[in-house]
Amino acid sequence: MLSRSLFTTSIKRSAAARVASTRYASTKTLKETLQEVIPAKQEQLKKLKAEHSQAVIGDVKVENIIGGMRGLKAMLWESSVLDPSEGIRFHGLSIPDCQEKLTPAPGGKEIIAESMLWLLMTGQVPTTEQTRQLSKELAEKGELPAFVEQLLDSLPKTLHPMTQLGIGVAALNHDSAFQAAYEKGIKKSEYWTYAFDDCINLLARLPALAARIYRNVYKPGTELPKIDKELDLVGNYTRMLGFGDNQNMTEYLRLYIALHGDHEGGNASAHTAHLVGSTLADPYIAYSAALYALAGPLHGLANQEVLRWQQAMQKELGENVSHEQIKEYLWKTLKSGQVVPGYGHGVLRNPDPRFLALQQFCESRPELMESSTIQLVKKTSEVAPGVLMEHGKTKNPYPNVDATSGCVLYHYGLTEYKYYTVIFGVSRALGCITQLTWARALGLPLERPKSVSMGALEQLVKSSWPNVA
């Protein structure tokens, strides 16, 4: 029989062991949190398959097939849903909700990429400790392999920055944990853990990769600072770009990258990452493909087109432009057969909440409100919807996020238009790596829609509608 002192010591040791083996929620890593969240989602998907696989959720029309599949509900994407009226929600949280709830950087006010990634991945709002922990992990993994640095440095300076970014990301697959594990042979239930590791390493290295491209193309010979292990992802990115002394620029890029991180799965870059990832290509290969989708003029290049158009207007009309002058310039643009860049959206039918958030950022900074370029953006947003509604050829006459995003970058001194999409590429990784992780965790299949020819489509129409000529 144990004496009282020995019994008490035994109880204390047992309690200490239990505490040591238990991770408090506020200290769990992102991967540990995912390990808890994933089983519930797997069970939800299993139930959907078993009980509702034959439920009809929409009709396919000819216009869907020949119109780029626009509007078809045909893709699973867990992290965000885009409503035509309300705009984007991340696991049910609106942009204002995120600005209120998600952790900023120390001394800052804007959302940081780490807190947005945690929300996208887990559906949970992270604690300050968790985001700081994730920042440190990303900083620790942020250095580029020497061979990737040499590869980037060997590329022609005239090669488009987005092409260089895709090359750099694809080259990182040399060290892919998923590819190595798959070749050795692993259970499907373990796919997500290796895909997740690749995704975190990819995100961690994107700032150094993107900053090196900026240095090589626009600031050759400039020394690149080392990653500061105490800074968040975007804090380091801004510092490596050479804007680390401008706190307003750093805060703007934090907000920009968080807001651009995810916009449901149907946009071209996100869909491409998902499609290529569905072949079990590793996350580096999948995301490099997404970057080339983002590089198209109808997708990621939009904000530089806005800036060009705004500057052309300013050059023609001068500094103090009136609403009436803007109206006349808008009609001139439309009557020439051109579109007004920065207005309209493939899904939204109201002003883009991301545009509203960036405008609020501008209105809180006196130096931005004194900028003639930013003032022109604001005045245009007040005039353009009325003109576009009167013109009658757009489903959404309201400003989207591109109407202002590039103009703020230009004001803060990042004036190289061709680089803007690279910043978009750094941000869009947040949503894509989330989906790549979850696609492997849920065991989603190879994506393989059925295609039809115009002749086959005509026959389908005739068989469904016999009276159609």
- To the nearest 10°, the Cα dihedral for 77, 83, 86, 89? 0
Whole-angstrom Cα distance, residue 220 to residue 395?
45
All residues at 6 or more sequence positions from 285 whose CB lies less than 8 Å from its CB, including other chains: 170, 173, 276
Whole-angstrom Cα distance, residue 210 to residue 168?
9
The residue type of 1 is M
Look up residue 76 and give its two tokens.
Answer: 């699973």
Q: Catalytic amino acids? A: 299, 345, 402
**Quick check: helix, strand or coil at residue 119?**
helix
DSSP H or E stretch at residue 58: none
What residues form DSSP beta bridges with 111? 104
Burial class (CB in 10 A: 0-12, 13-18, 19+), 237: buried
Look up residue 406 and give its two tokens.
Answer: 């590039």
Residue entry with tokens 């594990």: 181
Four-residue CA torsion sign, 266, 267, 268, 269: negative
Closest CA to 430 of 272, 270, 194: 270
DSSP string for residues in 174-239: GG-HHHHHHHH---GGGHHHHHHHHHHHHHHHHHHHHHHHHHHHHSTTPPPPPP-TTS-HHHHHHH
